[in-house]
Amino acid sequence: MTLININKDKIMKDNLNKKKELIKNLLINNFIKKKLIQKNKNNYNPNNNNKKYLIIIACHVISHVKFNTILNNIKYFDFECMDKILINSLDTNYKEKILSICEKYKNTNYYEIENSKYYDFGKWIYVLQNLVDINNYDYVIFTNDSFTIHNSINHFFNLTYKYNVELFGYNDSTQNNYHYQSYIFSIKKEAIDIFINKINNPSLIIRNQNDVIENFELLMTNWFKTTKCFLQIGNFNFNKNHNIFFTNDFFYLPLKTSNLLPFTKIKRNNI
């Protein structure tokens, strides 16, 4: 092959790659514009829905970073329509500081249990089975201390109500298999027993965090008859098999900057 042919092939390949990048950018920009319209339309105060939400925040506060995450995030759940329960691991040395946070917010309670091999799911189930009457609520929001919230997520609460599906997630993913990421999701009251029964399945062998992910997070969308999520991004060709927070900054950063995905995982809080 001559030098001229090599240069031609290189130019053609470069032009093709540039075209692909332009198409990808166009798809991302159009998606963001469309979702911003939906977000802004649903950014009103969730008290207006006349529905009752239970917020369960599973914590393992073993560092100042984790404490600051709770301190920051709780304000985004500060509504009259929301009862908040922080369920932390025993003996983390941050009890008094977290209690001082809870005292500043209405309808907020703090509990501690031993951190089990079921991790967040164990804490969520403990609250549902021991600390609340689920009949007092319309929806349960499940979340944890693995991420920092940077902007209002009112649209998530309001779309939970408007879609009224059994399981509502914030975003989906196709890493490993199709699922909703479990850092925040909601379940309507009528489907809570499904969630409890799946977690308490005696035939499961749960030994570690990987077992929790494989048996719970990666399978949850299969448990419910009706599901929906705010950001359906897992099946974009340029986002398949990715964790949006860690392995695809080309898509994650525009979503974060636009406040469609106003979260940073604390494992990568350098951005």
The domain ranges of the chain are 44-268
Supply the pLDDT for residue 172.
98
The distance of Cα 215 from the centroid of its chain, to the nearest Å, equals 17
Q: At what angle do helices 64-73 and 95-102 cross, to 10 degrees?
A: 10
Higher-confidence residue: 93 or 13?
93
Mean pLDDT check: name the lowest of 91-95, 163-167, 248-252, 258-262. Answer: 91-95
Burial of 24 (0-12, 13-18, 19+ CB in 10 A): middle
Alpha helix stretches (DSSP H) within the chain: 3-41, 64-73, 95-102, 119-130, 154-163, 192-199, 209-212, 249-257
91 confidence band (pLDDT: 50, 70, 90): confident
* Chain center to CA of 246: 14
| Token digits of residue 105 | 């917010």
Per-residue pLDDT reduced to its tens digit, 94-108: 999 999 999 999 999
Which pLDDT tens digit goes with each residue over 59-75? Answer: 999 999 999 999 999 99
| 17 SS3 class | helix
List of residues 6+ apart from 238 with CB closer than 8 A: 24, 27, 248, 250, 251
**pLDDT at 54 (0 to 100):** 98
pTM of the model: 0.92
Structure tokens at 73: 């995030």
Of 158, 51, 55, residue with least CA distance to 105: 55
% of residues, the chain, pLDDT over 90: 87
Dist CA 255 CA 172 (whole Å): 14
Please tell me the distance from the alpha carbon of residue 16 to that of residue 87, in angstroms, as a whole number.
52
CATH architecture under which domain 44-268 falls? Alpha-Beta Complex (3.90)
The whole-number pLDDT of residue 25 equals 83
